[in-house]
Chain A
Amino acid sequence: MESARDDSDSQARMRLDRFLAGVEARAFRMARLAARNDEEALDIVQDAMLAFARRYANKPEAEWPPLFHTVLNSRILDWHRKQQVRRRWRVFFQRDDDEADPLEQAPDPHESGPAGELEQDQCQQVVQQALAALPPRQRQAFLLRNWEGYSVAETARIMGCGEGSVKTHLSRALKALREQLQELNHE
């Protein structure tokens, strides 16, 4: 009986491993577009994976994708909220003779420098910039609907809002992306 349970546990672990391996890269990109920083994005994805595994690993496998994206979406929006609070405090404590923080000015070692950027596919850069510039909820709605392929109803459930709101976010996101891509292409 014990060995039967061990078998079932190891099969469950394999299934979960396969699922997480299938979504982790996209989850990272989604978080990276929000945080614009690899380390922060990794933290967001790790938190989401842990919370998902703790709460929902025992749920039926078919329910995993929307549940995982619900957790991820909530982690991304939490990150935005925390950033807003941090920004407010930073403004509050900003000195008159405020000098640029050398740490903030230091280039991100994982971020490609100007030379690297030139080498990278320009289109990729332009699209990423346009997506990163979107308001968080618009970006999440766009990515969940168009990239992850959820229906409007599923996207609404994941984002914890109404279908009407999702449609509004989607239409605004598309309009903004079109405008930004045109602008960026002209630059």
Chain B
Amino acid sequence: MNDEALKKQIVEVLQQDCETLPAHLRSRLNQARQQALDEAAASTRRKHWLRFGLPAGLATACTLVLAMWMTPPGPGEHSSVPVSASMAAEDLQLLAEPTDLELIEELEFYAWLEQVDAGTS
């Protein structure tokens, strides 16, 4: 038997073997396929959300923050947080400073001190 005939014979046997796959195995393969199809759908939804939903959400959030930041207070209104460039810089400086652990540990004492000061003045 030459090589081609040998290959052909082997392939025929394999093909025949697939066609006579027992029913219980076919059913298990079908279940596996359905799981894969569900996974594909879930993966598509995840990718769709990452591609469109996430950027859209971020853009909306950025726009809202910018709008709140830029809108000047109307007449008769006053901003609850007066913001100026110099104050923002001061805040940043405060945030950047290392935390005073002593202050945090004795916070109650400092609160009391403040009350006493307010009472005397």
Residue positions of A touching B, CB distance < 8 A: 9, 12-13, 16-17, 20-21, 24-26, 28-29, 38, 42, 45-46, 49-50, 52-55, 57-58, 110, 121, 123-124, 127-128, 131, 143, 146-147, 174, 177-178, 181
Contacts and interface: CB of A to CB of B under 8 A. Distances in A.
Interface stretch (B4-12, B56-64, B94-102): B4-12
B29 A24 contact: yes
A21 B77 CA distance: 68
B14 to A, nearest CB: 6
Interface in B6-57: 6-7, 9-11, 13-19, 21-22, 24-26, 28-30, 32-33, 35-37, 39-41, 43-44, 47
B10 A54 contact: no
A124 B13 contact: yes
8 contacts: A24-B29, A29-B14, A50-B35, A58-B43, A127-B13, A131-B14, A143-B14, A147-B15
Contacts of A26: 14, 18
A28 B19 CA distance: 12
Interface of A is mostly: helix
